[in-house]
Amino acid sequence: HFRPYGTTPGHALEWARLLLHLEASLQLAGLHAPDWLLACARGLFDSACCHAWNADGQAGFVYTLDWDNRPVVRQRLHWVHAEACAAAAALLRRTGEACYEQWYQCFWGFIDNHFIDRAGGSWHHELDANNRPAGSIWPGKPDLYHAYQAVLLPGLPLAPSLATAVAGYVTKR
């Protein structure tokens, strides 16, 4: 289940965000940022939301889709939803368009209702196809950085890098 065929919508969401960071970094450096960076970021985000959100009738992003955009692995992984939040926030910061605020609120609502483990702490890493905590792909809670980024990135500028922005924030305090 970890490496099924098809596409991983979470990577489309992550790349949408990364393209906006690249665009902002080029601009910060005084270089020309090609128009396709924003266009592709929008396209990747829109495609992931269109094809993978609620793809099997349950809320949330399925982990993978086949080449015809049908769910292959229906589990929901926390990192995909964390990247969705970060991508929506980056698109909102870049464009100011209300639809990205709506998606951001939708994704955080889903995370709040399903992934945050209030009893055991942290986030559930995986949900089954019915949005119950599971561990068939990765048992336990092996990954924290996606959740951490989902909380940090929306409050930071798109450039400079995450590490540079956080270092500057900490230094100012």
Q: What is the structure's pLDDT at 139?
A: 82
Residue 1 lies in a domain: no
One of 21, 78, 114, 146 is an active-site residue; which one? 146
Token pair in block for residue 122: 């942290």
* pTM across the whole model: 0.94
Residue 112 lies in a domain: yes
Q: What is the structure's pLDDT at 155?
A: 92
- Write the CATH number for 16: 1.50.10.10
Q: Which domain holds residue 131?
A: 9-172
Query: Is 21 considered catalytic here?
Result: no
Query: Is 124 considered catalytic here?
Result: no
The β-bridge partners of 99 are none
Task: Indicate the number of domains in the chain.
Answer: 1
Q: What is the mean pLDDT of residues 74-93?
A: 97
> Which one, of 12, 46, 34, 30, lies nearest residue 159 by Cα?
30
Residue 32 lies in a domain: yes
